[in-house]
């Protein structure tokens, strides 16, 4: 059942994944369900709902992300990743993207490390830290800093700005168009695109807010 819903959703999103990648997504979901019983990684517990609300919701961002990065090898930071959404999904579907999931809760970062080991994803790692502590050192840092239902745009950008490398962008996954949050942003942050998403099987508004430091706008 889950595989059929996922496969249908992937077709609707125009994502051509290999059988192995589809297996990895379902294995990740099984891992999330298993750990969720002890670690409370997500409030969504119904397996069918997890396919739409977690997998397909995160997969809806893959196309926009690949268009933004041009399919290049990039480093991505998933802030407040929790159970790894969308970070683990990005790591599975985009092997050319090196994904770091950061969370202030140790058990959530440990889950990401477990997922990376279980699913044999060399491009995924979990870090237990506050995002403010992740500084961009000597041309290091991240090309894309993303979050999904994490915090207000003001807090998200303020807390993670030090992790951006020169030319990097923020990718904030939101529900409804966050016009009030956008209006509250400081002049140092520029919104360059708000992209509406359609999540297969999910009757809810979703969008991505793309931002960058205003000095680069």
Number of Cβ within 10 Å of residue 179's Cβ equals: 9
CATH number for 76: 3.40.50.150
In terms of Cβ atoms closer than 10 Å to its own Cβ (0-12, 13-18, 19+), residue 96 is exposed
Q: The pTM is what?
A: 0.94
- Which residues of the chain are under the pLDDT cut of 50? 217
**Number of compact structural domains in the chain:** 1
pLDDT computed for residue 39 by the predictor: 67
pLDDT computed for residue 217 by the predictor: 47
Number of Cβ within 10 Å of residue 34's Cβ equals: 13
pLDDT computed for residue 43 by the predictor: 57
Domain residues for the domain of 195 are 2-216
Q: In the chain, how many H helices and how many E strands?
A: 9, 7
Q: E strands of the chain, at which residues?
A: 74-79, 97-103, 124-128, 142-148, 164-174, 189-197, 206-213
CB of 63 closer than 8 Å to CB of 14: yes
């Amino acid at each position: 059942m889950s595989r059929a819903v996922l496969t249908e959703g992937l077709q609707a999103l125009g994502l051509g994944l290999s059988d192995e990648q589809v297996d990895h997504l379902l294995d990740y979901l099984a891992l999330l369900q298993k750990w969720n019983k002890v670690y409370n990684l997500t409030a969504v517990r119904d397996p069918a709902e997890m396919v739409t609300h977690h997998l397909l919701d995160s997969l809806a961002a893959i196309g926009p992300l690949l268009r933004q990065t041009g399919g290049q090898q990039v480093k991505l930071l998933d802030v407040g990743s929790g159970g790894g959404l969308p970070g683990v999904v990005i790591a599975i579907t985009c092997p050319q993207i090196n994904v770091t999931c950061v969370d202030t809760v140790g058990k959530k970062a440990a889950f990401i490390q477990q997922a990376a080991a279980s699913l044999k994803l060399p491009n995924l790692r979990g870090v237990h830290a506050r995002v403010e502590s992740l500084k961009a050192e000597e041309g290091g840092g991240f090309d894309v800093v993303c979050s999904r239902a994490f915090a207000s745009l003001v807090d998200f950008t303020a807390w993670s700005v030090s992790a951006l490398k020169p030319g990097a962008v923020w990718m904030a996954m939101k529900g409804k168009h966050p016009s009030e949050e956008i209006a509250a942003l400081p002049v140092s942050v520029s919104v360059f695109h708000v992209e509406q998403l359609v999540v297969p099987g999910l009757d809810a508004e979703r969008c991505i807010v793309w931002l960058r430091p205003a000095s680069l706008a």
